[in-house]
Amino acid sequence: MAESTSPKKPAGDETPAGRTDQIIQLDSQREQRRASVVVENDELEAPVALEPAALEAPAKEPQPTRAHAGAAPGPAKPKRSLTRPVLFALLPVALVVGGYYYVTGGQLMTTDNAYIQAQSLGVSTDVSGTVQEIDVHENQAVKKGDVLFRLRPASFETAVAAAQAQLGTVRNQVLTLEASYQQSLSQIEQAQADIPYYEAAFQRQQDLLKTSTASKASFDSAQHDLVAARQKVSVARAQAQATLAQLGGEANQPVEKNPFYLQAQSGVDDAQRNLADSVVKAPFDGIVTNVDALQVGKYLPASQPAFSLVSSTDLWIAAEPKETELTYVRPGQTATISVDTYPGAVWHGTVASISPASSSSFSLLPAQNTTGNWVKVVQRIPMRVTIDDIEGKPPLRGGMSVVLDVDTGHARGLPDFVTNLIGLFGQKS
């Protein structure tokens, strides 16, 4: 291969101006790298990438370095936030306040297994009859004594008239007995007045018979008349006693106290009661419901409910808290009642009674613990709470759901392990 004949340019032939441009370009690149590192450390930002054109093109003049610009200050560092120190300072305070409320709290026994109960009655009557009139309509509020419906009164009025007639008959019979008793007394007196006459006639015939002046027949007739007179007295006395017994043993008592009269009077009272029961009235304040089940003209047997009446005043709370919630609940403690239907409204009540047994104890098939597959279940104990301030509040209805809070007056206190530790330290000291 032939050697190149082109002459080599000696190294010393490079011009000073070209060399100076290269040095300036290298210095510019170094300063840009340093600036990128400073910005990354101070501002935690990525360095700005240089464009290829800027790297290739020679710089006309050297760029001032950070040292040369000494008068220009760097970016200010952000101040640290005080949120974290404040949170750390508030943490012990929150723990102390929470612990205080935990120890002093726990006085309320709260349960939502509670419902309003109301006195309800199936309106009926103890007489049978045909419905003649219905004086109320569905869901109507009634007061005690208001007429609900009426039965046809004709048959009851007839029974009253018959009983009153029987009472008059008995009254007359009692008066007749009194007159008979007085007659018997008169007969006794008359018979007793005839006895001396017959005794004298018998004595005369007896004396004449001794002298054979009178016949035996006359003597026997006088003796018979004397015995008959004495028998009349006995018969009259027996009749008087019988009449007196019918008069109740007291001849001068009023007719209204005679047993026969009282019996007839009871018949009149019973007939009048049946007549009064044909008009059915409300036994207490409340609201009638299911009225449409009764229609005019329907035959209503005795004791069959016609419709229902629910009390609007005799209300109470039937609650069934867990057995573990009744540790400090006692009758007489105050309670606060919140009804789901009326948010924001509050009623006050009193614990009236607590059942002596759980609800499951009264079931048809109570739980038995003798089987091997028995599982322990927390039982519920029925509890009754009276409502003290019904007046002036929204109307309450049976079956409404409530939340019941009972103030037991017993704070939760320190946990057992803390109490035990305090007691242990007290013994050591």
What is the CB neighbour count within 10 angstroms for residue 111? 19
Given a contact cutoff of 8 angstroms between Cβ atoms, the answer to whether 197 and 184 are in contact is no
* Both tokens assigned to 148: 């609900």
Quote the pLDDT of residue 309: 95
Quote the pLDDT of residue 45: 43
Residue 111 φ/ψ, nearest 5 degrees: -145, 140
What DSSP line would sit under 75-107, residue for residue? PPPPPPPSHHHHHHHHHHHHHHHHHHHHHH---
Quote the pLDDT of residue 17: 52
| Superfamily holding 106-119+312-361+377-412 | Efflux pump adaptor protein, beta barrel domain (2.40.30.170)
Per-residue pLDDT 10s for the chain (429 aa) are 334 444 444 444 444 555 566 667 767 777 777 665 544 544 444 444 444 444 444 444 445 544 444 445 555 556 667 788 888 888 888 887 887 777 666 688 999 999 999 999 999 998 999 999 999 999 999 999 999 999 999 999 999 999 999 999 988 888 888 888 777 777 777 777 777 877 777 777 776 777 777 677 777 777 777 777 777 777 778 877 787 787 777 777 788 888 888 899 999 999 999 999 999 999 999 999 999 999 999 999 999 999 999 998 899 999 999 999 998 999 999 999 999 999 999 999 999 999 999 888 887 777 666 666 777 888 999 999 999 988 889 999 999 999 999 999 887 766 766 777 777 777 766
Quote the pLDDT of residue 10: 43
d(CA 4, CA 422): 106
Residue 37 φ/ψ, nearest 5 degrees: -65, -40
Using the 8-state DSSP alphabet, how is residue 63 labeled?
P
Among 397, 392, 315, 313, which Cα is nearest to 349's?
315
d(CA 296, CA 274): 19
The length of the chain, given as a count of residues: 429
Residue matched to tokens 């004709």: 154
Quote the pLDDT of residue 65: 47
Using the 8-state DSSP alphabet, how is residue 361 labeled?
G
